[in-house]
Structure 1
Amino acid sequence: MKALVVDTPTDSSIEQLKISDVPVPQPNDDEVLVKVHAAGLNPVDYKIVESGVDAWTYPHTLGLDVAGEIVSLGKNVTKWQVGDRVSGHSDLTKNGCFAEYVAVPTYELAEIPATVTYTTAASFLCGALTAYQAVERKANFATVRTVLIHAGAGGVGSIAIQLAKRHGCKVFTTVSSSKRKYVEQLAPDVIIDYQTENVTQRLKELTNGLGVDLIIDTVGKREAEKDLQRLAYNGRLVTIVDVPSITDMPMFAQGLGMDVVNLGGAHLSGNQYQQMDLGRMNAEMLQLVANGEVKALGIDVLPFEQIIEGLKMVKNHQVIGKVVVKMD
């Protein structure tokens, strides 16, 4: 089968990737073999090429977000059937889905509703499930009235805005000037242009000096440290990229809380319940999509032969929305 591979351990750039012929994988006892119809591209895909992964054997097939059709079953698999339409977010230490076929554990899978295409399903995995975990698993909305979501035009932020709005919260988001029009489609209550506005001062004005009840940070450690100072009493920070230092932060005095999202870490956790939650969150997310409650506003669809160009687009920030490659 054809697959996008990192050929050797010394290959560490997108330019060194190759589309090669590799054997069709065989599913183990608790896996299924999926014929790939569509695969989503994410920043993590090129980042792990550049950093390398110790567990890889070579050639290593890339790809985390798969949507396709089950074509064979491991001997312990009873829940799924050949022909089922499924999607899943996979383990980056294993051979992935930028290929014609991929073997995946059943715990990560969800059935794709009949009204949802393979392309759409592939676009609602890594970023969308990270947003879902941040909003629906980590946050507690019992006393949350205001939410700040950074990078509202991104793959995580654009979904998190929609999910937070479903909870009836007032949603603020940060964007660059060039992406404002895109984010306006998501109907956040306030858009803050971080290039021209003082985010901290703007939030004080918007909350009458109280601070924000919930912040979802998709930027990094330094921004997350600023976010801790932007929180209201009993506020909570959910951080996705890195963990801020809490030195000199009034965590106890202000009753502050912090959660960390590491979506793919469930694969290596050894915790079966958390692994199975990947599939549960996927199913819940897809149902919201099928119901029209959450929407993908932009999907760039490329043929598999252009997948390297697609990864370059993602790395060079030339994408608003998602890039998905179709295998057929």
Structure 2
Amino acid sequence: MKALLLKAKGQWDSMPVEEIDTPSPGKGEVLVKIHAAGLNPVDYKTATNGNPNWEYPHILGLDGAGIIEQVGDEVTEWKAGDRVVYHGDLMRKGTFAQYAIAQAHTISKLPESISFVHAAAIPTAGYTAYQALFRKLHIHRGQTILIHAGAGGVGGYAIQMVKYMGLTVITTASRHNHDFVKKLGADYAIDYKEEDFVNRTLEITNGIGVHAVLDTVSSDNATKSLDTLTFNGQMAYIAGAPDFAQGVSFARPLSFHQIALGGVYQSSNTAEQADLAMMGDEMINLLLGGYVDPMIKKTISLEEIPQALVELSERHVTGKIVAEIEQE
């Protein structure tokens, strides 16, 4: 099979496409013929320093959509020919290839009405947003939420889902992305380069603050965001924990939630791993209902992935980039 190979850590911007052996599924696994693979910042971030569990050459890519080619032993719920989408295990070889191995209990069925390209744009960013909002923050109608980096993958999916749930949405984004995030459903967009987002958020909420914050930026940004939370406010963070001691008091108790979507593969808790499939099913239903747009910025080839990862690393990409590995 053809695969994009990471020959050594740090070489993600110059990965060649080469022929390697097609893997075979083991017990509880399926072999997926990859039709489309989504790109995410985690791809270049992990490849920069490598991982002690990888054997080189390694194959990056966590988001895959395609057709099951073969099932392994003890797989009874899936068969060859099934269309699927999934979020893969960071420790294993990934989806930037013609074929990839997935764990059967973590994949979701993909209906014919959704393209592989649209589906592949969802898992890492979409499931992360879903987990933060519905597994951790337990958002509900009438609340107000501050979502950082709304023009990115996680932020963009989060905006769409919370708007569907009936929340008031405040987001941070560069000014040239304000139209984009408002089309996704943001009620207010704050240019973090020109405005103090804490002061602006408190102004929007008449000094009360927001019920929840989703921080996708940094530990420092999460710490600053504590000042935007109201009484019993909650924060979910994916890019570093805030300084929990800052702004927390008896008069303003707060709750914190760490989001580490792929970390579940390092656990022996198969029920929690299977929740990846459940979140995938829910995201597919939102896509089918027209409540979520996959936000695809562009579609590329397998060979073009390294340059696209460079674009992601420069932090100027709005929405999602998807590599089409096999034409539908």
TM class by smaller structure: over 0.9
Answer yes or no: is the 8 Å Cα contact 1:144–1:213 preserved in 2: no
Post-superposition CA distance 1:190-245 (Å, at most 9, x none): 11111111211111111111111111111110011111121000100111111112
* Match of residue 96 from structure 1: 94
Q: Which amino acid aligns with 1:103?
A: I
The offset of 1:114, in angstroms, is 1.9
Q: Which amino acid aligns with 1:201?
A: N
Please show how residues 9-158 of structure 1 align to structure 2 within 5 Å. 11-141=9-139, 145-158=143-156
For the residue of structure 2 that corresponds to 1:234, the secondary structure is strand
Could you tell me how far apart the structure 1 residues matched to 2:248 and 2:306 are? Answer: 46
Structure 1, 254-263 or 142-151: larger mean CA deviation: 142-151
The alignment's TM-score, normalised by the length of structure 1, stands at 0.96
Q: Which amino acid aligns with 2:206?
A: N
Q: Per the alignment, do residues 169 and 67 of structure 1 end up closer, same or farther by CA in structure 2, a change over 3 Å counting? A: same
2:238 pairs with 1:240 = yes
Could you tell me how far apart the structure 2 residues matched to 1:276 and 1:120 are? Answer: 22
For the residue of structure 1 that corresponds to 2:26, the secondary structure is coil
Post-superposition CA distance 1:43-95 (Å, at most 9, x none): 11111110110100121111110000001010110000110000100011101
Question: How many residues end up aligned between the 2 structures?
Answer: 326
Post-superposition CA distance 1:251-289 (Å, at most 9, x none): 443121011110000111111111000111011101110
Identical-residue share of aligned pairs (%): 39
Q: Which amino acid aligns with 2:239?
A: V
Alpha carbon RMSD of aligned pairs, Å?
1.4
* Match of residue 2 from structure 1: 2
* Match of residue 209 from structure 1: 207
For the residue of structure 2 that corresponds to 1:71, the secondary structure is strand
Structure 1, 98-107 or 175-184: larger mean CA deviation: 175-184
Could you tell me how far apart the structure 2 residues matched to 1:128 and 1:224 are? Answer: 20
Could you tell me how far apart the structure 2 residues matched to 1:107 and 1:19 are? Answer: 30
Q: Which runs of 4+ in 1 moved over 4 A?
A: none
Q: Which amino acid aligns with 2:105?
A: Y
Could you tell me how far apart the structure 1 residues matched to 2:89 and 2:213 are? Answer: 27
Q: Which amino acid aligns with 1:200?
A: V
Q: Which amino acid aligns with 1:179?
A: N
The offset of 1:322, in angstroms, is 0.8
The alignment's TM-score, normalised by the length of structure 2, stands at 0.96
Match of 2:289 among 283, 288, 291: 291
Could you tell me how far apart the structure 2 residues matched to 1:252 and 1:93 are? Answer: 42
Structure 1, 250-259 or 38-47: larger mean CA deviation: 250-259
* Match of residue 175 from structure 1: 173
Could you tell me how far apart the structure 2 residues matched to 1:224 and 1:111 are? Answer: 35
Q: Per the alignment, do residues 75 and 127 of structure 1 end up closer, same or farther by CA in structure 2, a change over 3 Å counting? A: same
